Amino acid sequence: MELTTLKATSRVLGANRENKRLRKAGQIPAVYYGKGTETVNISVSEIDIRKVLAPGKRYTLLDLEIDGKAGNPAVIYNYQKDAISQKFVHIDFLKIDEATPVKVRVPVKLSGLPVGVKTQGGLLAQETHYLMLSAKPASIPTVLELDISDFETNVTFYAKDFKLPEGVTLASVPRTVIFSISSKSKKKDAADAAAAPAAEAAAPAAAAAAPAAESK
């Protein structure tokens, strides 16, 4: 299992002002935890984290070198960003070992223009952008990419329909909807059906008003 070294510094869990001081200095508060390991509060360089989380490197296998001591295998399990500045505010590192599967959240990327949209006038809606998977560290995919060019209208694609890489299993609900392609005619029929009761209700009122208009 090839690991990329990431330097980290232990820290004492303190007040919010201490975390603000760390962030101002270019450090991100973080934790390292996992089976058989006590939770360790650490901080890591924001510059180093951005390199680790560059496109295509979401699940780089890491060796956290905490206070100069290596031998802490990990992946970035979760992270939080400031909603406005988009700067990292916290990182969760999960301890890993080569033989034990871990559950990870992997992005779903759809590529291509479906036949159902291009030539059949359908409407594409992507409902899910991430899936939970279970895999050994070396088998974790960085992204689940699906070419949807050949899909026609009136299709719903579920999480269970993905052909996952060898050694990877689905941890999300199997019938999680990834995307659907609906026909515009169905949308129109649904709108017409919704409008029909209102039209029927308006008809008697119009009929009742007609004699009054004629009596003037």
The domain limits of the chain are 4-97, 104-186
What pLDDT score does 63 carry?
94
Is it true that domain 104-186 has CATH number 2.170.120.20?
yes
CATH class of 4-97: mainly beta
- Contact in structure between 154 and 119 (CB atoms under 8 Å): no
Distance CA 174, CA 177 (A): 9
pTM, whole model, 2 decimals? Answer: 0.68
Nearest to 171 by CA among 163, 158, 180, 159: 159
What pLDDT score does 194 carry?
53
Q: Chain-centre distance of CA 7, in angstroms?
A: 27
- Contact in structure between 74 and 42 (CB atoms under 8 Å): no
- Confidence grade of residue 109 (pLDDT, cut at 50, 70, 90): very high
181, pLDDT greater than 90: yes
